[in-house]
Copies of this chain bind each other. A is one copy, B any other.
Amino acid sequence: MGSGAEFGKIVVFGVGLIGGSFALALKAAGQAEEIVGFGRSLSTLTLALDRGIIDRIGIDPGQETADADLVLLATPVGRMPEIMARIAPYLGGETIVTDGGSTKSDVVAAAREHFGARAAQFVPAHPIAGAENSGAAAARADLYRNRKVVLTPLPENPVLNVARVRSAWEWCGGEIFELAPDEHDRVFAAVSHLPHLLAFALVHGLAAREDSRLYFDFAASGFRDFTRIAASHPEMWRDICLANKRALLGELDRYREQLDELRGALSRGDGAALEKTFGLARAARRAWGAGKTG
């Protein structure tokens, strides 16, 4: 269309933090001619429209998808299968679909089920840009700047489709990596999903006590940082846990073994064992922290 934009029409399902920031970033880069948004509530869609995140509120998912260049699924992962089922019959031959879900094996399985042979047009992705804030109000054009984005391409994806999705996330400012879907889920079960579960469990266990106020009154900065992720979105994390159930259960069981070992050392008063474990953890955490830019 002569606008110089890499993408013509982009359809975004879920115009919250993830989908909204993707839309804002591509618009800011001048790489999207038109962005059409779908969502569960009219108020969110109206806010997205008012904020310039989307150009139009979509009415008919099938019709909008048919001539779209790019479709982003940015809903909680539990809602993606129904959207895939809904758009699959109408998917244009040139349309590429990607997603922003925090789990990948389940999304890939749903794509194979609902898209069938057209799963070749689906390139799964996971931008690592979580935040305890969510919604269209929190979306911003620079959310993905210098953040990692993991693509988990399917064997049947044409190289061109992967390159197009890579390009879209690069325009958002992301640093692109590739993992196999199950490798992705294993890694994120350990470094993201498990910590969320652990933080939710700690805060819930305190909040459920009759004298919970006494505990919260003396909680300080260590507690604050440790539990920051316990303020995350319950529905989103329910979906992530269920979607990555197998890997997460595995990590949870490994973690309980770690705790059992520490409990044993503590119980028998084995200070040397405690100090050794703490020391190895400290060294690893410091090395990791020193390697990070921010």
Contact = CB atoms under 8 A, between A and B. Distances in A.
A79 interface: no
Query: Which of A195, A196, A201, A275 has the most chain B CB atoms inside 10 A of its CB?
Result: A201
Contacts of A204: 258, 277-278, 280-281, 284
A141 B91 CA distance: 65
A199 interface: yes
A222 B198 contact: no
A294 to B, nearest CB: 9
Contacts of A239: 271
Interface residues of A, number: 88
Interface of A: 78, 128-131, 147-148, 150, 177, 183, 187-188, 190-192, 194-208, 212, 214-216, 218-235, 237-239, 241-242, 245, 248-249, 252, 254-256, 258-259, 262-263, 266-267, 269, 271, 274-286, 288-289, 292
13 contacts: A130-B222, A177-B218, A191-B223, A199-B226, A216-B288, A226-B228, A226-B229, A231-B285, A234-B278, A234-B279, A235-B275, A238-B274, A249-B263
